[in-house]
Structure 1
Amino acid sequence: MVDVAFQQGNLVREASPRKRSSLRASLRRKSTTAFLMTLPLILLISILVLYPAFYSLHLATLNKSMSKFVGLGNFEFLFKRETFWLVVKQSCIFAITAVIFKALIGFIVAHFVHNIPAKGQRKWRGMLLVPWVIPPAMSTLAWLWLFDPSYSAFNYTLSFFGIGPIPWTGEPNWARFTIILVNIWFGAPFFMILYLASLKSVPEQLYEAAAIDGANWWQRIWYVTLPMMRNIIAITTLFSLIVTFANFDITRILTAGGPLDHTHIFATWAFRVGIEGSDIPLGASVSLFMVPILAIAAIFILRDVNKRGNEA
């Protein structure tokens, strides 16, 4: 009996490596198949992203007529212009402020929707996603009418309270406020829907345990909700930061960079210099300045995400 048991044990030990090797081979085959199926899409994205990126680098090294190589001359010229540094400051203020408020509003609204009974959630999700679904150019035109200096619906409403008229797009600080406001209105639903999905994945047992320990609603959010959602918060923040930095249509339609270039961001000023000013290489140089800023933000955010993943 002892010999039989010993032989059976040897057979089990011999069979387990075979199973593991066959499982590894099966996973390799599936990974290879998945890679080959996605390869055409990867190549298409590479062509659509990498080619314009390298072509922009090439353009940034040419003179205005694109007939002579000037190296870093365009960048040196930009460093000496006050307008360029104004654009850098405004782009950072615009992107950081808009992303913070979009994340905050999205988090609050996601909690509101999450606490609604399941039957009513579909209706609220649909209504709250409308600003994000409407094309930005179309919705910004509606906002432009609301801010119109002569027929502003906001100023008409405020006049009943003895306030105004407010120069929404005619004064630098108010113009910046209007652009940030419209961007928040457009982008907050994106945060809301992702945070709502993340909230639904948080186990209820954690909230119950926190309640038993005497935690109030704020402590449950701080010690349970935020730690469970921190990776999705970091990734959505990075994605929104990239999209907001590259935003063009809202600023272009509302103010076109005015008054006196005080609302220009990288995208609109690159268009003004490159297309309207007929200096394509200089416009390409302006647009390339977004890359190091976003790269630094991505390194800090993704490094934090990786660190949290290793700790988990």
Structure 2
Amino acid sequence: MGAVEPAVLRSAGESLAILSRGDRRLGVLLLTPALVYIALLVGLPFCLAVFLSLTNSSAGSLDFSFVGLENFRSVVRSPVFLRALRNTFVFTFVSQLAVIVCGNVLARALMKQFRGKGLARFVILMPWAAPVSLATLGWLWIFDSTFSVINWMLRVVGWLGPGQWYYWLGDTTLGMTAIITIHIWRMLPFSTVILLAGLSSIPSEVHEAADIDGAGPLAKAFRVTLPMMLPILTVALLFGVVFTFTDMSVVYLLTRGGPYNSTHVLASLAFQEGVLGADVGRGAAISVFLLPLLVVMAVLTLRVSRRAEVL
């Protein structure tokens, strides 16, 4: 009997080893299509952008020569690039702060039971489902220098007097305000859905225990809800920052970087220099400049999320 038990254990161990190897092979097999897709769709274009940023390539010509870091030096010395870099940070942080705050308010409101809740959810999700080109054209009419609905409403309520008028897309500050407003409107449904899922995942017993302990609304929000939602908040913030940093659609459709290149962000400036301006090397250098910024933000955000999960 004693001789049989080691044989049985050895056989069971060999079976587990075979299953483990089979699981690893299955895992590799399932991951391979996704890895190949990412390599072809992201890896190759990125390597090509790095290569082009080190050359003086131009559109319409196959001739080029290596110039090293000259494109990066030229870009960094450009006042238009420095303005676009500052606009990118302002555009990202202001819009994401507003999106997180407003999304939290909407998510908390949707947690309550009220008549028309389904319709409210549909209306909130509409900006996310609408094509950005059509939505921006609608906003273009809203911010039009002559037919602006906002200006006429301000005139009716007495905010704008005779001879006063806001030229939203003809002024640098007003132009950036319009761009940020539209981006907040676009990103708000995404943030609301993620935060609503996070709020729904918190057990009701936790809130009941906080009520028994005498915690008020602010104490519950900052000592109970916020710590438990921090991992979800950081993920929503990471997606929002990456999406905003690399987005050029609103800027290009609304102002095209004007007036006088004052509302450009890095993505729209790279498109203007590399595609419209035919200076592929310079445009690639501007686009590659986004990478270290995004990597730093992603690492910091994921570290905060991991610490929150540990706590």
Question: What TM-score do you get using the length of structure 1 for normalisation?
Answer: 0.89
C-alpha change, 1:169 and 1:17, in structure 2 (3 Å) is farther
Bigger drift between 68-77 and 20-29 goes to 20-29
C-alpha change, 1:115 and 1:280, in structure 2 (3 Å) is same
Aligned 1:244-283 pairs, distance under 5 A = 244-283=244-283
CA deviation string 1:82-124 (max 9, x = no partner): 111111111111011111111111111011001226x854433
**Are the counterparts in 2 of residues 114 and 121 from structure 1 also a CA contact under 8 Å?**
no
Please name the residue that 1:157 is paired with. Answer: 153
Matched, 1:110 2:103: no
Please name the residue that 2:204 is paired with. Answer: 204
Matched, 1:92 2:89: yes
Please name the residue that 1:179 is paired with. Answer: 179
AA at the equivalent of 2:70: G
Q: Distance in 1 between matches of 2:146 and 2:7?
A: 85
Q: Measure how far apart 1:248 and its partner are.
A: 1.0
**Are the counterparts in 1 of residues 182 and 250 from structure 2 also a CA contact under 8 Å?**
yes
Structure 1: segments with no counterpart, 5+ residues: 1-6
Q: Distance in 2 between matches of 1:186 and 1:305?
A: 25
Bigger drift between 37-46 and 257-266 goes to 37-46
Bigger drift between 224-233 and 52-61 goes to 224-233
Please name the residue that 1:32 is paired with. Answer: 25
Please name the residue that 1:57 is paired with. Answer: 50
Please name the residue that 2:219 is paired with. Answer: 219
**Are the counterparts in 2 of residues 90 and 265 from structure 1 also a CA contact under 8 Å?**
yes
CA deviation string 1:2-42 (max 9, x = no partner): xxxxx9xxx7x998998788667546534532431342232
Please name the residue that 1:294 is paired with. Answer: 294
Please name the residue that 2:142 is paired with. Answer: 146
C-alpha change, 1:272 and 1:123, in structure 2 (3 Å) is same
AA at the equivalent of 2:34: L
Among all aligned residue pairs of Structure 1 and Structure 2, give the percentage whose two residues are the same amino acid.
31
**Are the counterparts in 1 of residues 227 and 308 from structure 2 also a CA contact under 8 Å?**
no
Structure 2: segments with no counterpart, 5+ residues: none
C-alpha change, 1:71 and 1:222, in structure 2 (3 Å) is same
Matched, 1:71 2:64: no
Q: Measure how far apart 1:161 and its partner are.
A: 1.4
Q: Distance in 2 between matches of 1:303 and 1:202?
A: 22
Q: Distance in 1 between matches of 2:18 and 2:110?
A: 45
C-alpha change, 1:213 and 1:141, in structure 2 (3 Å) is same
CA deviation string 1:257-295 (max 9, x = no partner): 011111100111111111121101100101111111111
Q: Measure how far apart 1:81 and its partner are.
A: 1.3
Q: Measure how far apart 1:168 and its partner are.
A: 1.1
**Are the counterparts in 1 of residues 54 and 66 from structure 2 also a CA contact under 8 Å?**
yes
Q: Distance in 1 between matches of 2:292 and 2:159?
A: 43
Provide runs of 4+ in structure 1 moved above 4 Å: 13-28
Question: What TM-score do you get using the length of structure 2 for normalisation?
Answer: 0.89
Q: Tell me how many residue pairs correspond in the alignment.
A: 302
AA at the equivalent of 1:233: L
Bigger drift between 173-182 and 31-40 goes to 31-40
Please name the residue that 1:229 is paired with. Answer: 229
Q: Measure how far apart 1:162 and its partner are.
A: 2.4
**Are the counterparts in 2 of residues 78 and 84 from structure 1 also a CA contact under 8 Å?**
yes
- What SS class does the counterpart of residue 68 from structure 2 fall into? coil
AA at the equivalent of 1:42: L
**Are the counterparts in 1 of residues 231 and 306 from structure 2 also a CA contact under 8 Å?**
no
RMSD (Å), alpha carbons? 2.4
Please name the residue that 1:46 is paired with. Answer: 39
C-alpha change, 1:228 and 1:275, in structure 2 (3 Å) is same
C-alpha change, 1:116 and 1:294, in structure 2 (3 Å) is same
- What SS class does the counterpart of residue 241 from structure 2 fall into? helix
Please name the residue that 1:129 is paired with. Answer: 125
C-alpha change, 1:26 and 1:244, in structure 2 (3 Å) is same
C-alpha change, 1:23 and 1:207, in structure 2 (3 Å) is farther
Q: Distance in 1 between matches of 2:16 and 2:153?
A: 68
Q: Distance in 2 between matches of 1:307 and 1:16?
A: 41
- What SS class does the counterpart of residue 278 from structure 2 fall into? coil
C-alpha change, 1:25 and 1:205, in structure 2 (3 Å) is farther
Please name the residue that 1:3 is paired with. Answer: none
Q: Distance in 2 between matches of 1:31 and 1:197?
A: 32
AA at the equivalent of 1:265: V
